[in-house]
Structure 1
Amino acid sequence: MDLCSNFWLISLGFANYSSLRKPKSNLSPESKPEQNGKLTTMTPYERVFLITQCSAMASSKSNLGAKLDDLQDKMTILRQNLEQLSNHQSSTIQPKREKIAEMSAEVLDSNPYSRLMALKRMGIVNNYEKIREKTLIVVGIGGVGSVVAEMLTRCGVGKLILFDYDKVELANMNRLFYQPHQSGLHKVDAAKNTLTAINPDVEFETYNLNITTVENYKILIDRICEGGLHGQKVDLVLSCVDNFEARMTINTACNEENQVWMESGVSENAVSGHIQFIEPGRTACFACMPPLVIASNIDERTLKREGVCAASLPTTMAVIAGFLVQNSLKYLLDFGEVSTYVGYNALCDFFPRQEMLPNPHCEDRFCIQRQHQYQVHLHVLYFISSAIANPLKRFVINQLITSL
């Protein structure tokens, strides 16, 4: 019933107000409800009241119908979104393979390690299976770190501990590894999901935190000391961060715990980069001579700025990630020569290599402490060598000491 009808009914009610206030006393018995519940005659007041109630009920029914239609539309949209999500998941998520207890060199299409174990058969690596005993920490799961983590996962390392506090953004899609549907996820969570699907044999720990704070620095130290597969010290720390403060934090932690680590970086213009192997006391630490200065010729103020890499190319980052993982495998599996520093300039395909000796005046007190310990170690070895009577054995030992 429309508004005009309601207004007419209300007017009718006022017009009969006097009769409603003074009902006739000589109403016939038919004007009252019968005992069986049927209404024979209604007063004007009762008629107006009944019509008003019917109008309200009709209006309420109309509103409920509109709300029901709206809910049905929303249900249809939700059902369509659910179908799209289900189709997307069915097209992207593949069945996960079962875990493999031991690496095998058997040449089968179903063996994910056959080509890795071929390195052993060809005499490159003595015991590739040792890789499953190794634990590495990767700090920074961005353009370089995510590719590093993926390569190590495919190589079959025992355990990876991932640190990062950033989220995946569409701006990251120019790099490798991450996918658009992962936007908004924490990088460590997105990385773990993808890497677990690639190789379920690898164990993962993830930490969504900033290591430069005091409390989180303690967590980093704890994972360095006890993050191994059996609660022991980790085998290697890889720095893939993009700012000076985080690099210095990792440097301090590794010097403090005498932990071998490798540092990596990409220049601000994204066409050059480097990796550096750091063994506290034996080689230069990051504080001795920050290699990013050498790689890109930028000053300290630029280094200390958040987000060193303003531009990014997936090609440059993949090259640096490949160098870093290759150097890590040589160190972990003891084959080839572990480089202390490798640079890369994409404009002229230049790959400089050089030794990085520790700075005796380094500002890091732990670095100075490790340098003194290393010198004492060398003196002890030279003393033992001098006590050997056989000249040939003494020569061989001296050569080994010199190579340390």
Structure 2
Amino acid sequence: MSKEIDEMAERLKNLTSDLTSTLKEARIATVSPAAPSAPQPYRQKIEKLSSEVVDSNPYSRLMALQRMGIVKDYEKIRDKTVAVVGVGGVGSVVAEMLTRCGIGKLILFDYDKVEIANMNRLFYQPHQSGLSKVEAARDTLIHVNPDVEIETHNFNITTMENFGKFVERITNGSKTNGKVDLVLSCVDNFEARMAVNTACNEENQIWIESGVSEDAVSGHIQYIEPGKTACFACVPPLVVASNIDEKTLKREGVCAASLPTTMAVVAGFLVMNTLKYLLQFGEVSPYVGYNALKDFFPRDSIKPNPSCDDRHCILRQKEYQEKLKNQPEIEVEEKIEDDFVVHEENNWGIELVDESIEVKKEATNSGKTAEGLKFAYEAAEKSEEPSQETSEKSSANLADLMAQLKRLQS
């Protein structure tokens, strides 16, 4: 009897130990839930785009652009490679839009991590908190469209070592191991924009810059073609004018605002102009601003600055001017009109002017901007060599000051 009681007690002890261990594991799992495993792609890769209008064709709505005559050959998008620098509030949405459009390859650059504070924006989800942005973006995008090739780089392009890697990837990162077709800058600081500008000037790479203001109610995109348009270092960047003093935003304890609406509008403009550039339809806008307070969209363009501080920009300007000189002149045949017909009752010789003929205005560097735009800051004026007269006056003033000092000391 005593032996049976001891066995039962031992069995109860083991059960109690197992139950305690199970409860402990359950408590740990509740406090620190494991990240959910990523779902597998629901469809296989598609070798050739089809315009067949069926519910199972993810490209039918895109290929409709070709059927309607908007785009000549939409399938060419699968051969294109776009580099997106910065996959935050604007860049992540840009990457998603391009993925849904069926871009051939995306190269993503960022070094930040997803935070819960980012959940006021689009794209990222709470369970991705703590992951690097490029990895979180890739995990989402490959399931949105498995046909798109995603390449990620988790580093800061502004450091010396990583800048070289960045230049190498935009030079050799395309699907054919050549230059990428376009670089999209979606960064939020001046230093990173200048790094992109320097790299693109060196490699003669076309890129589009974008940004959203710190008050979250304005933004812009700017198409930059080295030698043809102003680079980011040529003149101060254009910003949408507003009545808000952004200096008041940079106070201790006050962070920059961000709205998913403003970022989505800027991302939409950026991707729309990317598609127009890659597929050659419509007109690529040189600059588009956005003022959310008034739903105002100013446009402008600026020629390159012949005195730009970036030596590669100066080189690209010379190359572009040489290219223009070597282009054959296109002869325009003058249309000889028939005898001028005046209405019988038109005693004063009044004639109508065809207003449908568009008159293109040349962009200038006069310092004037389009309505609603202003420069982000005043450009520093280059100091000129002082004249002989100025030097003599300075010497005379210095001599007078020395004489006064001697009198005071005596």
Aligned to 1:72: 22
Q: Which residue of 2 aligns with 1:311?
A: 257
1:363 CA displacement:
1.3
**Structure 1 position 333 matched with structure 2 position 274:** no
Q: 1:270 aligns with which of 209, 216, 234?
A: 216
Q: Aligned runs of 1:169-318 on 2, under 5 Å? A: 169-293=115-239, 310-318=256-264
Residue pairs, 1:97-136, within 5 angstroms: 97-136=43-82
Per-residue CA shift, 1:251-307, capped at 9, x if unaligned?
A: 0000000000000000110000000000000001111124254566999999999xx
| Alignment-derived partner of residue 333 in structure 2 | 392
Describe the shift of the 1:309–1:297 C-alpha distance in structure 2 as closer, same or farther (beyond 3 A): farther
In structure 2, relative to structure 1, the CA distance for the partners of 1:304 and 1:247 (3 Å cut) is: farther
TM-score where L is the length of structure 1: 0.74
Counterpart amino acid of residue 140 in structure 2 = T
**Residues 295/255 of structure 1: CA separation in 2 closer, same or farther (3 Å cut):** farther
Q: Which residue is 1:12 aligned to?
A: none
Give the 3-state SS of the residue equivalent to 1:374 in structure 2.
helix
Structure 1 residue 348 displacement after superposition: 0.5
Higher helix share: 1
Deviation at 1:205, TM superposition (A): 0.4
- What displacement does 1:117 show? 0.4
Aligned CA RMSD, in angstroms, stands at 3.4
- Cα deviation, residue 122, structure 1: 0.5
Verify the 8 A CA contact 1:136 1:160 in the aligned structure 2. yes
Q: How far 1:225 sits from its partner (Å)?
A: 0.7
Letter of the aligned partner of 2:90 in structure 1? V
Residues 250 and 295 from structure 1, CA distance in 2 versus in 1: closer, same or farther, beyond 3 angstroms?
A: farther
Give structure 1 stretches of 5+ with no counterpart: 1-60, 394-398
Larger Rg: 1
Aligned match of 2:318 in 372, 378, 381?
Answer: 372
Q: Deviations over 1:76-96 (max 9, x none)?
A: 4467789x869x66xx84752
Paired residues of 2:90 and 2:186 also in contact (CA < 8 A): yes
Alpha-carbon distance change, 364 to 122 in structure 1, aligned in 2, over 3 angstroms: same
CA-CA distance at 1:198 after TM superposition? 0.2
Deviations 1:202-249 (A, max 9, x none): 001000000000110011100111000010110000000000100000
Is the 8 Å Cα contact of residues 245 and 304 (structure 1) preserved in structure 2? no
Relative to structure 1, the CA distance from residue 177 to residue 64 in structure 2 (aligned partners, 3 Å threshold; closer, same or farther) is: same
Q: Deviations over 1:333-364 (max 9, x none)?
A: 00000110000000011100111211111111
Matching residue's letter, 1:112: P
- How many residues are matched? 327
Aligned to 1:22: none
Instruction: Quote the sequence identity (%).
Output: 67
Which runs of no fewer than 5 residues in structure 2 stay unpaired?
1-10, 335-358, 364-410
Structure 2 CA distance, aligned partners of 1:302 and 1:219? 38
CA spacing shift, 1:346–1:80, aligned 2, 3 Å: closer
User: TM-score, normalising length from structure 2?
Assistant: 0.73
SS in 2 for 1:97: coil
Give the equivalent residue in structure 1 for 2:388.
none
**Cα distance in 1 for residues equivalent to 2:224 and 2:243:** 21
Judging changes above 3 Å, is the alpha-carbon distance between structure 1 residues 222 and 171 closer, same or farther for their aligned structure 2 residues? Answer: same
